[in-house]
Amino acid sequence: MFFFSSLASVAIIFVGFNIVLTSIAFEYEQQFSRLTKTKDAVDKLWFYPNQLIKNSPNIRPEFMASFFMNNLDLYHLVLLPHKKTPLTKEAILEEQFISNVMLQSWEDFLMMRRYDEISLDFWLGSFLTWAQNPYFKIYYNRMKFNYQDFTNQLAELLFEYAEKIPVPTEDIHVYRRTVAKMQKDPRYIVLVESLS
């Protein structure tokens, strides 16, 4: 009898140990999954659009520079002289494609935001730099019919708040302050709650 009760006790200990190990393994798997999704999000939502800007030979310099209003060197080289580069059909197609990729990044961000490790503040601050681009806003207005209502709501908020940021943007902390204001906006709160 003692043998069976000892055997049962050992079995219970092993079952408990197995549950603990399974739980730890599950936590590590979840953490790894979030880190992988974070890397994928950064690659898709941030690096890819920026690489497109950098590697597109036909876009106008002012279109490119307007995505980086906080880069004073670029601002002084390209935007300050107020020279307008003639628009070509190649430039239009490349700029429209880049704008579509960026808008798709905003849409994907809204769908993926719960699965990555990066704070909302980072994403929104980064997207505000894009929304400062007046050329991008023109393309957005032409193409917004292609996007979900929630993407258009985010875009409208980003463009609205970006217009309040001084150009050139010498104080980079203005992005965080602007994000904080935007996150208190009832329209933003309703948007985020509707996607939860």
At 87-118, the pLDDT tens digits run: 999 999 999 999 999 999 999 998 887 665 67
Contact between 75 and 168 (Cβ < 8 Å): yes
Q: Which sign, positive or negative, has the C-alpha torsion 67, 35, 108, 193?
A: negative
Asked whether residue 38 carries a pLDDT value surpassing 80, the answer given is: no
- Cis-peptide, bond into residue 49, ω within 30° of zero: no
Question: How do the domains of the chain map onto residue ranges?
Answer: 36-194
Give the model confidence (pLDDT) of 60-83 as tens digits: 999 999 999 999 999 998 887 888
